[in-house]
Amino acid sequence: MVDYKTLIFTCTGNTCRSPMAEAIYKNLDKVSDRKVLSRGLVVLFNEPINPKAETVLNMHELELNNHIAKGLKSSDIDGQTLILTMTESQKKKVLQDFPEVEDVYTIKEFAGEIGDVVDPYGGTLVDYEECFTELARLVKKTFYKLNSDN
């Protein structure tokens, strides 16, 4: 396994799924020097984390202080960067827009599963909680996979 120096969780707008995944991972990994980020593929303006996503994170005693949506840029990526998207179509877009990317997977693919992480945007607080629960499981699998050799 490559010793990734940077892990980037990526979703559409960087206001729901990827920030939740970032917060979950950072809570699990308190000792490594791996940089953990979240980015969006369609970020039109500076926007904070979705209030429902923030509520769910807070209910689990997690937080991302002062999160502002950021788009994925070439400067975020080098040869030791792992990009995990929420959907297969996002993976294809990353590969299309950033041909220099060597390691991009859907989070489910990386965790040994199939399918997409459903976007809770516009849904109820329960929808966000269900998304969080799924992400928590997938991020834990990711964490263990990345740190199994250490």
pLDDT digits (tens, 9 = 90+) for 28-72: 998 889 999 999 999 999 999 999 999 999 999 998 889 999 999
**Residue 34 bears catalytic tag:** no
Report the predicted TM-score, pTM, of the whole model to 2 decimal places: 0.96
Q: Can you tell me the distance from the alpha carbon of 17 to that of 56, in angstroms, rounded to the nearest whole number?
A: 11
**Residue 103 bears catalytic tag:** no
Q: By C-alpha distance, which of 89, 116, 82, 109 is closest to 4?
A: 82
Ranges of each domain in the chain? 6-147
CATH architecture of 6-147: 3-Layer(aba) Sandwich (3.40)
The band of 150, judged by pLDDT with boundaries at 50, 70 and 90, is very low
Residue 27 burial (C-beta neighbours within 10 Å; 0-12, 13-18, 19+):
middle
Q: Can you tell me the distance from the alpha carbon of 50 to that of 14, in angstroms, rounded to the nearest whole number?
A: 9
Q: Which of 16, 17, 39, 131 is catalytic?
A: 17
